[in-house]
Chain A
Amino acid sequence: MVADFDFSVLQPSLTFLWTGFLFSANLTLVAMTGGIVFGTLLAMGRLADLGFVSRAAAAYVNLMRSIPLVMVILWFFLVIPLITGKPVGAERSALITFTAFEAAYYSEIMRAGIQSVSRGQVMAGQALGMTYWQSMGLVILPQAFRNMLPILLTQTIILFQDTSLVYAIGAKDLLKAAEIAGKNYNRPMEMYIFAAVIYFAICLALSTLVKRLQKKIAIVR
């Protein structure tokens, strides 16, 4: 064994790593919230009777899903300044990219969720005289959310792991912070291991929780 680890360098850099972690967590929460909202709208658009709306939504979803996330991150980083005329910074660009990208994945989940609600529910809403938006908001979507909650959360765990890819544009997330701290103390290995342990612990804890939740909220039909 060549390596002799010295994990004592972790202690002085903890505050720095914490700011990186906060960015990762913030990015995850923003992209989750925005992604679910836009994703739900996209899913509704895809299931709408208007031909061009559903086609446009489908095109957006399929496009996002067939490009590697790293490429999408680089695309947005390049294109947003071209449109706005000034640089936006890696962190803000990451927030926009992840919201736009994750919306495509959440949209597929919500589409399955909406389609899992039985036809009779739609008709019951209509029979009660509800408008489209009323029956969507009061009858269909709440059930779709409940059915899909475990999958939405699983996607969020994947999203949390994927935030590490902002490395490509140099945004300071947990991984980037670990790399910088590793360079400062000339101890890259310890920092990478530390980052891996943090990611592992959080993701394992969350996926265990999701499994438990899945059992708890399963609807007995």
Chain B
Amino acid sequence: MNYHWNWGIFLERIKGGEETYLSWILTGFGWTVSVSLCSWAIALLLGFLVGTLRTAPNRWVARLCNAYVELFRNIPLLVQMFLWFFVVPELLPRGLSMWVKRDMPAKEFATATVCLGLFTSARIAEQVRAGIQSLPRGQRYAGLAMGFTLPQTYRYVLLPMAFRIILPPLTSEFMNVFKNSSVAFAIGVLELTFQARQMQEDSEQGIETYLAVTLLYFICAFIAHRGMSWIEKRTRVPGYIAAAK
């Protein structure tokens, strides 16, 4: 193995340009974090909505939400990216389609965020449903017996409990969002993976590039993990196994 190491590569100028390679990587880091956080917001909102409705008394609503989850779970994320990017704009009404294809600002970013958000929301919906169904039936009856309406029972009793129970798998999901955001390179979002590939081809210092980028992914995962553990600690339910020190 005769590899020519060159750690100084990050401070060198890119070929025929003013920027350094470091600025490429940092831009990539910025896009990775933005895509991940925005998708996470969409995923949490939709995931909790769909997951809750899956336990609803109305059969048809529950079935529709199950279909939603199955649809987004059984198609690879990368294929979904291509569908959102190439196929969906064609299905829109003409005026809107033209706008999406030509004038929409940050088109790649928006597409990747919506795609990753919906993909993740299906997985969160699965966890939310499991969390709600793991609660003893008595909790629901107690809420109704107190004179709460069904939405109130969900709002004040079931959802807060379910949220705390599913925090550990939710943590893994939050870390997954950062990992999955790497797929956005395929539709041209200038995130970390995209920039890493570009820098490797341009500078031919692949090992240094991938080491640096891998480290940045680690940092994201670590911060996500610490943040979620903090929330987990703050929201423990007294009397549950998780609450014991």
A residues at B contact (CB < 8 Å):
1-3, 66-71, 74-75, 78-79, 82-83, 85, 161-162, 164-165, 167-168, 175, 179, 188-189, 192-193, 195-196, 199-200, 203-204, 207
Majority SS at the chain B contact face:
helix
B202 adjacent to chain A (CB < 8 Å): no
Given contacts A2-B97, A162-B76, A204-B70, contact A71 B214 (CB under 8 A): yes
Cβ of B196: which chain A residues have Cβ within 8 Å of it?
Answer: 71, 74
Please tell me if the beta carbons of B87 and A193 are within 8 angstroms of each other in the complex: yes
Which of A78, A199, A207 has a CB less than 8 Å from the CB of B200?
A78
| Chain B proximity of A32: nearest CB distance (Å) | 16
| Chain B proximity of A197: nearest CB distance (Å) | 9
Cβ of A164: which chain B residues have Cβ within 8 Å of it?
Answer: 76, 78-79
| Chain B proximity of A117: nearest CB distance (Å) | 22
The 8 closest A-B pairs by CB, nearest first: A3-B90, A203-B74, A68-B182, A161-B76, A68-B179, A164-B76, A78-B206, A70-B182
B86 adjacent to chain A (CB < 8 Å): yes
Please tell me if the beta carbons of B79 and A66 are within 8 angstroms of each other in the complex: no
Please tell me if the beta carbons of B90 and A203 are within 8 angstroms of each other in the complex: no
Among A1, A70, A78, A189, find the residue whose CB has the most chain B CB atoms closer than 10 A. A70
Please tell me if the beta carbons of A199 and B185 are within 8 angstroms of each other in the complex: no
- Looking across the interface, which residue of chain B has its beta carbon closest to that of A189? B87
- Looking across the interface, which residue of chain A has its beta carbon closest to that of B70? A204
B106 adjacent to chain A (CB < 8 Å): no
Cβ of B37: which chain A residues have Cβ within 8 Å of it?
Answer: none
Please tell me if the beta carbons of B92 and A79 are within 8 angstroms of each other in the complex: no
Please tell me if the beta carbons of A68 and B87 are within 8 angstroms of each other in the complex: no
- The number of residues on chain B lying at the interface, defined by a beta carbon within 8 Å of a beta carbon of chain A, is 43
Q: A68-B182, A167-B78 are in contact. List 15 more A-B contacts (CB 8 A).
A: A2-B93, A2-B97, A67-B214, A68-B193, A71-B217, A74-B210, A85-B1, A164-B78, A165-B183, A167-B186, A188-B86, A189-B86, A192-B83, A199-B79, A203-B75
Given contacts A68-B179, A68-B182, A71-B182, contact A175 B74 (CB under 8 A): no
Please tell me if the beta carbons of A71 and B213 are within 8 angstroms of each other in the complex: yes
| Chain B proximity of A203: nearest CB distance (Å) | 4
Cβ of B79: which chain A residues have Cβ within 8 Å of it?
Answer: 164, 175, 192, 195-196, 199
Please tell me if the beta carbons of B221 and A66 are within 8 angstroms of each other in the complex: yes
A179 to B82, CA, bound (A): 10
Convert B89-122 into 0s and 1s, putting 1 for each residue whose CB lies closer than 8 angstroms to a CB of A. Answer: 0111110010000000000000000000000000
